[in-house]
A and B are shown apart, each in its own frame.
Chain A
């Protein structure tokens, strides 16, 4: 099956939050009382019950003056997904669509994915001892539907489809914008399953890493230390066995009894 990816085109987003609401509704997630923090931002950030939201940033973009930026934040569905690499239970897994799904029934709340994710997506809920995140609406994909957020988007800022189709559409759009659009997501973690067309440089968006990668700690841990945890003890056992065969156990000789005993 061709890989499916989602495209968020910030130049078409009006910040209506239909995606945010559709996500809550499809996934049966409770809403929270809104709070005035001096901006439109509500809820403040992703949580165990908020898997997608619009980030509102007011930034000084320099020559273009102060800008109000919107960003659809949800799981990026990385090709090299650090969360899948560290997941101790196999609850996080790659689907046939190339997306990263989460089987909550399997999750044991070890939180390894929370520290591994370069985008800060998985959210731990202490009350259920489980982690939650966007699964690109796997239940909808399995039935040939697009994710709920994409379905709900009234402006066409969110699109979903086969990787080739979405990639070429994204490149076309960036060319069309003629320097007014920045493609984000094609150059790191093997490519993300959600692409952004941003209207300003990625550095101006809050909570958006400019060079995300699978953390070095995860690579050292999973690629080096994990195999070593079996190889080293195996080597020790083999060495002990050879020692037993070649040098033999350290036996206290009968003859040494008298000599040392008298001393």
Chain B
């Protein structure tokens, strides 16, 4: 008999710290970056001591992004991310998130949408770090111009995906936010969202 009180640990302390390290780094990069890109957002620079301050905070926070990306990759790449067997079918049904679907392919610890988000964050995070460092450290000559363009493209992609992530991690999927705060969710929540992971017994081990 399963009680609704029974909890499963999904994320360890380390995983939660890594999640928030990346999240806060990206948040700081976004507000300082957008604060520079749009002249109408320049008022944000008051918080950072002016336009030179906001640039320096942005650049050095960018350095902090590199270990964040590596740690996130190191933590989550193991979680069945490279098993793509049912992913296309899942995406064709939008994982049951957009319209009613009877049999959505069962997910492991992360569903294909979350896996896609992981790959987007890792690849575009690397793109932002590489283009950002080029803009900062290399002399600004003509091919460097494309670094700014790619950097701006990265903003469009990352910000869009991040907002979907925040929506689905909060009000879009009630209960999910507990994973990144306490690390625990109700067992039945886990059985619903990550059935294959629960079947493997991985959750049981993590719960100890």
Asked if A161 CB lies within 8 Å of chain B CBs, one says no
Whether B52 lies near A109 (C-beta < 8 A) is yes
Sorting the interface of chain A by its residue count into under 10, 10 to 19, 20 to 34 or 35 or more gives 35 or more
Q: Which residue of B lies closest to A221 (CB)?
A: B149
* Interchain nearest-CB distance for A84 vs B (Å): 11
Query: What chain A residues lie within 8 Å of B188 (beta carbons)?
Result: 252, 256-257, 260-261
Query: What chain A residues lie within 8 Å of B191 (beta carbons)?
Result: 260-261, 263
* Total residues of chain B contacting the partner, CB 8 A: 50
Interface-centre pick from A109, A229, A240 (highest chain B CB count, 10 A) = A229
Query: What chain A residues lie within 8 Å of B187 (beta carbons)?
Result: 261
Asked if B164 CB lies within 8 Å of chain A CBs, one says yes
Query: What chain A residues lie within 8 Å of B42 (beta carbons)?
Result: 89-90
* Interchain nearest-CB distance for B185 vs A (Å): 10
Near B by CB (< 8 A), chain A positions 184-234 give 215, 217-218, 220-221, 225-226, 228-230, 232-233
Whether B149 lies near A220 (C-beta < 8 A) is yes
Q: Which residue of B lies closest to A252 (CB)?
A: B192
Partner of A247, one of B98, B141, B149, B155: B98
Whether B2 lies near A257 (C-beta < 8 A) is yes
Whether B174 lies near A249 (C-beta < 8 A) is yes
Partner of A243, one of B135, B142, B172, B195: B172
Query: What chain A residues lie within 8 Å of B145 (beta carbons)?
Result: 115-116, 215, 217-218
Contact indicator per residue, chain B 144-160, by CB within 8 Å of chain A (1) or not (0): 11111100110110011
* Interchain nearest-CB distance for A43 vs B (Å): 17
* Interchain nearest-CB distance for A67 vs B (Å): 28
Asked if A251 CB lies within 8 Å of chain B CBs, one says yes
Q: Which residue of A lies closest to B167 (CB)?
A: A240
Complex CA–CA separation, A232 to B139 (angstroms): 31
The tally of CB-CB contacts under 8 A between chains A and B is: 131
Asked if A31 CB lies within 8 Å of chain B CBs, one says no
Query: What chain A residues lie within 8 Å of B99 (beta carbons)?
Result: 247
Interface-centre pick from B97, B99, B163, B193 (highest chain A CB count, 10 A) = B163
Asked if B64 CB lies within 8 Å of chain A CBs, one says no
**Known A89-B51, A108-B54; contact A114-B156, beta-carbon cutoff 8 A:** no
Whether A115 lies near B144 (C-beta < 8 A) is yes
* Interchain nearest-CB distance for B120 vs A (Å): 13
Asked if B140 CB lies within 8 Å of chain A CBs, one says yes
Near B by CB (< 8 A), chain A positions 87-113 give 88-90, 106, 108-113
Whether B156 lies near A229 (C-beta < 8 A) is yes
Complex CA–CA separation, A94 to B164 (angstroms): 40
Interface-centre pick from B39, B140, B173 (highest chain A CB count, 10 A) = B140
Asked if A177 CB lies within 8 Å of chain B CBs, one says no
* Interchain nearest-CB distance for A170 vs B (Å): 29
Asked if B47 CB lies within 8 Å of chain A CBs, one says no
Whether A237 lies near B163 (C-beta < 8 A) is yes
Whether B160 lies near A247 (C-beta < 8 A) is no
Whether B192 lies near A221 (C-beta < 8 A) is no
Whether A229 lies near B149 (C-beta < 8 A) is no
Complex CA–CA separation, A163 to B144 (angstroms): 34
Asked if A40 CB lies within 8 Å of chain B CBs, one says no
Q: Which residue of A lies closest to B144 (CB)?
A: A115
3 nearest A-B pairs in the assembled complex, by CB-CB distance: A114-B140, A217-B145, A115-B140
- Report 26 cross-chain contacts, Cβ distance below 8 Å, ordered by A residue: A88-B55, A89-B36, A90-B39, A106-B51, A108-B50, A108-B54, A109-B55, A114-B141, A115-B140, A115-B142, A120-B141, A215-B142, A217-B146, A218-B145, A225-B149, A228-B156, A236-B164, A237-B163, A240-B172, A244-B167, A247-B98, A250-B172, A252-B186, A252-B192, A256-B192, A261-B191
